[in-house]
Amino acid sequence: MNLDFVRALVRSLEACYGFREGEVEQTTLFIISQSENMPDYFSFSLKSLSRLIEFLIFLRHFKRFHKLTYNQQINLISFFRSTKVPFISMFLRFIESSFLMNYLEYKYEKKI
């Protein structure tokens, strides 16, 4: 998966969930490592989906996701959540669950 794309997704998800104190780089690397540790057929599918989604965004906005304005990124995340297209919602579910898992682990690790 593209590092810039995942980093922009993490920043947008932070805004959607109202989180402000997360480590964006650490979460980005965690999500990428999770996708690389999957079996090849899952990892390949995930990478293909991320490229397809980036391509669809490029066709619509003529910019890559990480080069869109912050508001456009948040609006696209909201659109992805509400869409009924299964592959987009599954991809976003993976990113969201990895994001939340890493964020909450980091948040509670700091308190201990």
**CA 65 vs CA 16, 71, 74, 105: distances in Å:** 16, 11, 10, 27
pLDDT band at 111; cut points 50, 70, 90: low
Rounded to an integer, the average pLDDT of 63-80 is 91
Question: What is the total count of domains within the chain?
Answer: 1
Rounded to an integer, the average pLDDT of 38-63 is 92
Residue 42, domain extent: 3-111
Give the CA count within 13 Å in the CB-facing half-sphere of 38: 16
Residue 69 has pLDDT above 70, yes or no: yes
pLDDT 10s digits, 23-48: 788 889 999 999 999 999 888 989 99
Cα torsion at 65, 11, 78, 31 (round to 10°)?
80
Residue 22 has pLDDT above 70, yes or no: no
pLDDT band at 60; cut points 50, 70, 90: very high
> What pTM value is reported for the model?
0.83
